[in-house]
Amino acid sequence: MPKFSLFSIRASLLYLVIGGSVGGIMLVSKAIGVWPWIWYWRTAHIHAMLVGWLLNLIFGVAFWILPRLDAHGWRGSPWLVWSASGLLQAALAVLVWASIWPWSAAIAIASSLECLAAIAIAWHCWPRLQPLIIEPRPAKTSKLD
């Protein structure tokens, strides 16, 4: 697995457990009325799950497994996927921050960052979405040639 996929898939697993644990605390709070402040984290839970868990995982697996660009296994320049990931983590940081300390511009900033992340990952994946190119085997050369 390439370095970017290691990073992105591990990040997605961390988002799953941390975001899910926040969800667990919300559920306990809902049932027995403890820790009411946890409800400020509701939006953070939703974004950690839908963006942190699912999108990081998708980015990591896509980079790892989509058809390669040449016979040497070249996956394309990794800077685009790293930028996509950086933009995604920045968007999540803004959203988590804003769900704790509400801030009106947060949604606009985070969605713009997510939109740029989408453009970057699409740009990377586009040329890799192609049918497998099966190169013809070089013809066997006979001794008479």
Partner 1 sequence: MPTLARYYIRTAFVWLVLAFAIGIAMLTSQLWALKTNPLAALQIVFYHALMVGWVTQLIVGVAIWLFPVHSREQPRGNENVAWAAYATFNLGLGLRSIVEPLLQWAPSGLVKWAIVGAACLQVAALWLILLMLWPRVKAKVSKAK
Binding mask 1-40 for partner 1 (x = CB under 8 A): xxx-xx--xx--xx-xx--xx-xxx-xx-xxx--------
Q: How far is the CB of 52 from ligand HEM (least distance, A)?
A: 9
Instruction: Name the residue type at position 85.
Output: S
Residue 21 beta carbon to ligand HEM: minimum distance, rounded to whole angstroms: 7
Which 57-116 residues touch partner 1, going by CB under 8 A? 57
DSSP calls for 7-73: HHHHHHHHHHHHHHHHHHHHHHHHHH---GGGGGGHHHHHHIIIIIIIIHHHHHHHHHHSPPSSTT-
CB atoms within 10 A of CB 69: 15
Residues in 48-67 at the binding interface with partner 1, rule: CB under 8 A = 49-50, 53-54, 57
**Applying CB under 8 A, which residues contact partner 1?**
1-3, 5-6, 9-10, 13-14, 16-17, 20-21, 23-25, 27-28, 30-32, 49-50, 53-54, 57
